[in-house]
Structure 1
Amino acid sequence: MIRDTIKAAQITAMKAGEKERLHTIRLILAKIKDRDIELRTGGDGGDDDALVTEVLQKMVKQRRESIKLYEEGGRQELADVEKAELIIIEEYLPAQMSDAETNAAIAAIKSELGAESIKDMGRVIAALKERHGPQLDMGKASGLVKAALS
């Protein structure tokens, strides 16, 4: 499980004295714990790896947005901190599908559902997320689906 891997990495970072890595891993564990608390009040949590992957993907997206904003604002030192965190967070994500693999999955789902126009985009994205969610950046995938359907 991804959660166990992250906890083991925390212990390793503590023993090795890697302060920046330890800080980022603690951020990850805190976000996961926040999500656990949300689910405790909301109902079923589902698959633990899916939950952790969702949290990690959200953190990656936030870091990428922050990097872009910091670089536009001329704050390179803050962008560098975010980049370092991004690298560490991405280590714990499952391997992401390439564009070619994503396009192949979209084509298979498109033919399976008989999707032909932009009107079918929601159904294709829902099926794509259900089958390949943890391995996809859904922001990028939605653009590929739109291109395939137009």
Structure 2
Amino acid sequence: MSLVDQLKDQMKVAMRAKDKVRLGTIRLALSAIKQVEVDTRETVNDEQAIAILTKMVKQRRDSIAQYEAANRPELAAAEAAEVEVIETFLPKPLTEDEVAAIIDATIAKVGAASMADMGKVMGALKSEVQGRADMGAIGALIRAKLK
């Protein structure tokens, strides 16, 4: 079952359970996916859907930080609830050891030796860790290993 189908099924479950937070968040996710489908005139596959959901989580985490800085805990809590719902549809996050092992294997596979090869490593890694690890943190780890 595709990720979009899972979202649609869970939307129905949330409707029946009258879970407004979950229902609203799933509707936002489906809306974002539909917007990409309309813009690109293509059906979104699971990898693209994961990228969309990951972007949504990142946006909400940024909002949480801003709300906390502005002393608005009720708005931060609402965003945190949305993050929890979205994360249920994302793949299980990788541990630091798993990320390090994947980076080492990819560097060896690509044959990267210097910072000039960082783009090759990032390109090879992206599809493997999309939605399962923070790409910014992965970039920092790759820079440290390619010095």
Provide TM-score, normalisation by structure 2. Answer: 0.92
The answer as to 2:71 corresponding to 1:74 is: yes
Distance apart, 1:144 and its partner CA: 1.5
The 1:3/1:120 distance shift into structure 2, 3 A limit, reads same
Q: CA deviation at 1:112?
A: 2.0
Equivalent residues in 2 for 1:45-64, closer than 5 Å: 48-64=45-61
What is the Cα deviation at residue 131 of structure 1?
Answer: 3.4
Q: How many residues align?
A: 146
SS in 1 for 2:6: helix
Aligned to 2:139: 142
Cα displacement (A) at 1:71: 0.8
Q: Which runs of 4+ in 1 moved over 6 A?
A: none
| 8 Å Cα contact 2:50/2:130 also seen in 1 | no
Structure 1, 31-40 or 136-145: larger mean CA deviation: 136-145
Unpaired runs of at least 5, structure 2? none
Tell me the equivalent position of 1:16: 17
In structure 2, distance between residues paired with 1:89 and 1:115: 35
| Counterpart in the other structure of 1:125 | 122
- 1:36 maps to 37
Q: In the alignment, which residue of structure 1 is the partner of 2:109?
A: 112
Aligned CA RMSD, in angstroms, stands at: 1.5
Aligned-residue offset at 1:29: 0.7
